Amino acid sequence: MLIKSHSNGIDSPFASEITPREIFEARRTFIKQMAVGSIAGTALFEMANRAAFAQSPNAQKLAAKPNPAYVVMDKQTPYTDATTYNNFYEFGTDKSDPAQYAGSLKPRPWTIAIEGEVKKPMTLDLDALLKLAPLEERIYRLRCVEGWSMVIPWVGYSLSALLKKVEPTGNAKYVEFVSLADKKQMPGVNSPVLEWPYVEGLRIDEANHPLAMLALGMYGEVLPNQNGAPVRIVLPWKYGFKSAKSIVKIRFTKEQPRTAWNVSAPQEYGFYSNVNPNVDHPRWSQATERRIGEDGLFTRKRKTLMFNGYPEVAPLYAGMDLKKFY
Ligand code: MTE
């Protein structure tokens, strides 16, 4: 399914993902049904299920203390789904492209430049980022604007720890996150599907909310390349595209940043992009979602929750018309 959408006339990959996923799930349901009734089949299915939750054998472990304040009780998304069904347009627009092509990304050495309206501009390397605050494991829901969701154990800490270190000036009203855009490492950057580099942004009070996370790992390991190695943002109350991957620059600004999806299709993707079941995307409803990893062909969709089930962020938007500021 391809729908013309963006102002640049390119078909929206955001909509095109639906059919392949359903075929995949139908196949999985079929295999499951085939397995039922035969002991060997059931054992095989259980083995496959265990493999789905297993981590990668070669990845570097990243020890983190579970933070009980940030745990959703929903079942975690299998590691294989979270690492093979991705959006990372720098590696292509198909869900399978990042896992297939992100091997060319070199996550070390890596630095993030922090600049703009801060008293202490600085460049931090990965070791400095890993030591900046105690690493925590937080299990967050991630809701993509396309209508699917996952539950992922991230490793990292509140972005506010970084803000505290660089001391934003009184002029810092917004924070801009800039992803790497290197044609040599990222084949998708040769395509005009988005304006590169991928840029996202937050208001400074959103960036300071304890839920906003700077993530360096997931499932107890360093981030896989396809999930935004070596460092990304995770904003569980916003649609997934706000969570910029493979960040190389964080800039504090007076003005609201121009963000990649807002530039590409302003009527469809606003600056705030808070998960909101009451405000539909112009081309589809946002009232329900499919949970990746448990959504067979006949499984009912889940109701999408306001702010993705994180009501504690509501005061950030007190008095704002969320239909206008979508
Ligand atoms: N960051 C960059 N640099 N490029 C991207 O294409 N895709 C976004 C977001 N961050 C994207 C990005 C979208 S649409 C989603 S849903 C999430 O990453 C997906 O994160 P995940 O692959 O870890 O699930």
Q: What is the pLDDT of residues 107-123, one digit of tens each?
A: 999 999 999 999 999 99
In a domain, 208, yes or no: yes
Closest CA to ligand 1's atom 16: 240
* pLDDT at position 52: 52
Picking from 152, 169, 170, 318, the residue whose alpha carbon sits closest to that of residue 235 is 152
In a domain, 139, yes or no: yes
Report, as an integer, the average pLDDT of 19-46.
43
Within 10 Å of residue 127's Cβ, how many Cβ atoms?
11
Helices and strands (H and E) in the chain: how many: 9, 13
What is the Å distance from ligand 1's center to 84 Cα?
12
User: Is residue 240 within 8 Å of residue 145, measured between CB atoms?
Assistant: yes
Domain that holds residue 301: 62-317
Whether residue 47 is predicted with pLDDT greater than 50 in this model: the reply is no
Any bridge partners for residue 148, and if so which? 290
What are 3's two structure tokens? 């729908």
Report, as an integer, the average pLDDT of 295-309.
89
Report, as an integer, the average pLDDT of 130-142.
98
What is the Å distance from ligand 1's center to 11 Cα?
18
In a domain, 142, yes or no: yes
| Stated pTM of the model | 0.87
* pLDDT at position 181: 98
| pLDDT band, residue 14 (cuts 50/70/90) | low
What is the Å distance from ligand 1's center to 245 Cα?
6
Nearest atom within ligand 1 for CA of residue 261: 14
In a domain, 13, yes or no: no
Percent of the chain with pLDDT over 70: 83
Between 23 and 80, the more confident residue is 80
Sort strands 148-158 and 288-291 into parallel, antiparallel or unpaired. parallel
What is the Å distance from ligand 1's center to 86 Cα?
7
Ligand 1 contacts (CB < 6 A) are 86-90, 142, 144, 179, 198, 227-228, 240-241, 243-246
Q: Which of 49-63, 160-174, 269-283, 305-319 has the lowest mean pLDDT?
A: 49-63
Which mutation among 241, 247, 249, 289 tests ligand 1's pocket best, with the greatest number of atoms within 8 A of CB? 241
What is the Å distance from ligand 1's center to 146 Cα?
12
CATH code of the domain covering residue 204: 3.90.420.10
Return the amino acid letter for 257.
P
Picking from 124, 128, 98, the residue whose alpha carbon sits closest to that of residue 224 is 98
Between 13 and 45, the more confident residue is 13
Closest CA to ligand 1's atom 19: 87
Which mutation among 6, 16, 87 tests ligand 1's pocket best, with the greatest number of atoms within 8 A of CB? 87
Closest CA to ligand 1's atom 22: 86
What is the Å distance from ligand 1's center to 208 Cα?
21
* pLDDT at position 326: 97
Report, as an integer, the average pLDDT of 156-178.
98
| pLDDT band, residue 6 (cuts 50/70/90) | very low
Query: How many structural domains comprise the chain?
Result: 1
In a domain, 154, yes or no: yes
| pLDDT band, residue 34 (cuts 50/70/90) | very low
In a domain, 74, yes or no: yes
Helices (H), the chain: 13-16, 18-35, 39-53, 79-84, 97-101, 126-131, 160-166, 204-207, 260-264
Distances (CA, A) of 36 to 62, 111, 138, 149, 219: 37, 50, 35, 27, 30
What is the Å distance from ligand 1's center to 241 Cα?
5
Angle between helices 18-35 and 39-53 (to 10 degrees): 140
Longest CA–CA span in the chain (Å) reads 67
Closest CA to ligand 1's atom 9: 241
Q: What is the pLDDT of residues 224-270, one digit of tens each?
A: 999 999 999 999 999 999 999 999 999 999 999 999 999 999 999 99
Closest CA to ligand 1's atom 12: 244
In a domain, 269, yes or no: yes
What is the Å distance from ligand 1's center to 39 Cα?
40
Report, as an integer, the average pLDDT of 32-36.
43
In a domain, 17, yes or no: no
Whether residue 4 is predicted with pLDDT greater than 50 in this model: the reply is no
Report, as an integer, the average pLDDT of 19-27.
43
User: Is residue 229 within 8 Å of residue 221, measured between CB atoms?
Assistant: no
**CB burial readout 146-170, b (16+ within 10 A) else e:** bbbbbbbbbbbbbbbebbeebebee
Q: Residues near 303 by Cβ (< 8 Å), separated by ≥ 6?
A: 277, 287, 288
Report, as an integer, the average pLDDT of 195-219.
98
